[in-house]
Amino acid sequence: MDGNGRWAQAKGLPRLAGHKAGVEPVREMVKACSELKIPVLTLYAFSTENWARPQDEVTDLMGLLSFALRREAEMLHKNHVRLSAIGHLEGLPQSVRTELERTIERLKDNTGLRLNLALNYGARQEIVDAVNRLIAEGRKSISAEELSGALYTAGLPDPDLVIRTSGEMRVSNFLLWQIAYSELYVTPVFWPDFSREHLYAALADYQSRQRRFGRL
Ligand code: IPE
Ligand code: MG
């Protein structure tokens, strides 16, 4: 979800206004993905690198996160959404962790869309942590399956499609291991303007692709 700041800037608004406006497309995507029976939606909400932003913005983002979790819990429940989170969750403010744990618990028996929030997430750290955990368990060598099983995403399928908004042609430390064979889709649309129609366009593009996984 990229482009909140530039969306706000283009309108002469503070960056926080862009982050606030970015909540609505999250609601829309949850509903659209639920309707389309997409099993898993992972949203990259806050990276380990985002702490380097000005303190005010970090505080705003954390406040917005716990506020949105609380406010949207009912909507998520009505849509049968189950919630999970990946990332170094221990590094999040207590207010966010409390709200996150409460919401995950509330939605835990739902069987619809799995909404997976990447929070304080960085893929390199995820891989290093996984390898260190396997070493601590006394492993001398591991298989690709074992490494997959030691990541935050253990048990989740690898993404079929990665959508990046705001036109940036990079992966920015997102699910590096898991997106080895994912299809990538970049749209110039800023995240706050990303609508159902944009999602459908991305899915139609995805459907037109031939996935060969290295074969012929
Ligand atoms: C995405 O929008 C939101 C987060 C990373 C939390 P940005 O804040 O990165 O917006 P730009 O890239 O400055 O436009
Ligand atoms: Mg950005």
For the CA of 6, the nearest ligand: 1
Strand partners, 162: 184
Q: Is 6 in the pocket of ligand 1 (CB under 6 A)?
A: yes
Tell me, in angstroms, the distance from the centre of ligand 2 to residue 1's CA.
8
Strand partners, 185: 163
pLDDT at 53: 98
Q: How large a percentage of the chain has pLDDT more than 70?
A: 100
* Mean pLDDT in residue range 58-65: 98
pLDDT at 176: 98
pLDDT at 48: 98
Place of tokens 């028996």: 109
For the CA of 170, the nearest ligand: 2
**Tens digit of pLDDT for each residue in 78-94?**
999 999 999 999 999 99
The yes/no answer on whether domain 4-204 falls in CATH 3.40.1180.10 is yes
190 Cα nearest atom in ligand 1: 14
Q: What does pLDDT average to over the chain?
A: 98
- Secondary structure string (H, E, C) spanning the chain: CCCHHHHHHHCCCCHHHHHHHCHHHHHHHHHHHHHCCCCEEEEEEEEHHHHHCCHHHHHHHHHHHHHHHHHHHHHHHHCCCEEEEECCHHHCCHHHHHHHHHHHHHCCCCCCCEEEEEEEECHHHHHHHHHHHHHHCCCCCCCHHHHHHHCCCCCCCCCCEEEECCCCCCCCCCCCCCCCCCEEEECCCCHHHCCHHHHHHHHHHHHCCCCCCCCC
**Tens digit of pLDDT for each residue in 123-168?**
999 999 999 999 999 999 999 999 999 999 999 999 999 999 999 9
Q: Is 46 in the pocket of ligand 1 (CB under 6 A)?
A: yes
Q: Is 53 in the pocket of ligand 1 (CB under 6 A)?
A: no
Q: Is 173 in the pocket of ligand 1 (CB under 6 A)?
A: no
Catalytic residues: 2, 50
